[in-house]
Structure 1
């Protein structure tokens, strides 16, 4: 069943209210042709992160535009050096992030991560480790992934992963590889299938960048 924009708006608002980590009072939801826009402000970057993921969980969402800003309450404000120290400690204690592989820069509460790792899960772990710290207003992920395999291997690994995971629309997804950059194209029938295809691509060793050109058709 195809949802109207009005139904989709109600579902997204309900999902935001249902998520316990989010205070949805100051978040506005607009929908046009299945494209959801989140506006307003939240009191932490973690809440912004959770709001984005909550909206993506709703069936019928074709795309998401985020126009929320982070307004820290006085009790949450910290110096950049304090945030940098906390972020460094979080990375040091992460079992997924190789020691000294990721560099941290903080400016006005905004964390920029750079460096180089071997796997996408390591890059994701670094972002996850710092995005919930108090005082953070945003996170920029500039971590690179080392290219270690051939294009033909990457393509075959991704296609095999899609089949293993029984993605019903796997045959509709094409995989293009240039060096260590992967582009996925095609049309699937749910956001979850699209996310699974992206996860399969990022789960292949040596993939440095994934371009998502997969459309969702409900």
Structure 2
């Protein structure tokens, strides 16, 4: 198992390796395998990219992203401009039912509301607007609508876990209660944990996933 100092070094190296991140403005601290990112990013996209880079490092148990988004003058846009761009981005994305989503913007912070039938539609809506110029952050408050029997959802998730080449499904337990999925067990890396979570979110009717899977780095 890596020490916190070794993890800090590896995360800093991964941030420096990631071309979409300026690591010079990011501080990394590690305690008990939990990584905290401090400093600032020039865009919301860079903040997200830094978090994903840290998660890729073997041995990282969790990431706390405290990066502040400081837009350069060239990246500043009015809330009206951001809202108009967001509406168009949602309309152009074939995975998103744009007519079911409401967009509001305040001081560069974009909020999505509404109801969709699938979790992938909620995720696609956020991805469509996350990298727009001027966006400082996104609050995705879209809800997932349909109700499916817990046994059916549980079975579909378990089958998806078995199909994944990245996972040993025998080490993961799935429980579904009223559209909420609870994952328990253990995996060998953060990437495996995220893969299990992704499989859970892909099931119809899932509106929340509680991931209690331990990473045994």
TM-score by length of 1: 0.96
- Stretches (4+) displaced over 2 A: 166-169
Q: C-alpha distance in 2, partners of 1:190/1:116? A: 33
Query: Within 5 Å, which residues of 2 pair with 1:1-218?
Result: 2-218=1-217
Name stretches of at least 5 consecutive residues in structure 1 with no aligned partner. none
User: CA offset at residue 22 of structure 1?
Assistant: 0.9
Query: In 2 relative to 1, CA 166–73 (structure 1 residues): closer, same or farther, beyond 3 Å?
Result: closer
Unaligned runs of 5+ in 2: none
Q: Go from structure 1 to structure 2 and tell me whether the alpha carbon gap of 1:85 and 1:169 turns closer, same or farther (over 3 Å shift).
A: same
Give the secondary structure class of the aligned counterpart of 1:100. helix
Q: Kindly state the Cα deviation for residue 86 of structure 1 after the two structures are TM-superposed.
A: 0.3
RMSD: 1.1
Deviation string for 1:113-142 (max 9, x for gaps)?
A: 111111111111100011101111100110
Query: Which secondary structure state, in structure 1, belongs to the residue aligned with residue 59 of structure 2?
Result: coil
Q: Distance in 2 between matches of 1:99 and 1:86?
A: 13
Deviations 1:58-82 (A, max 9, x none): 1110011111101111111111111
| Distance of 1:128 and 1:66 partners within structure 2 | 18
TM-score scaled by length of structure 2: 0.97
Aligned length: 217
Asked if 2 retains the 8 angstrom alpha-carbon contact of 1:176 and 1:184, the reply is: yes
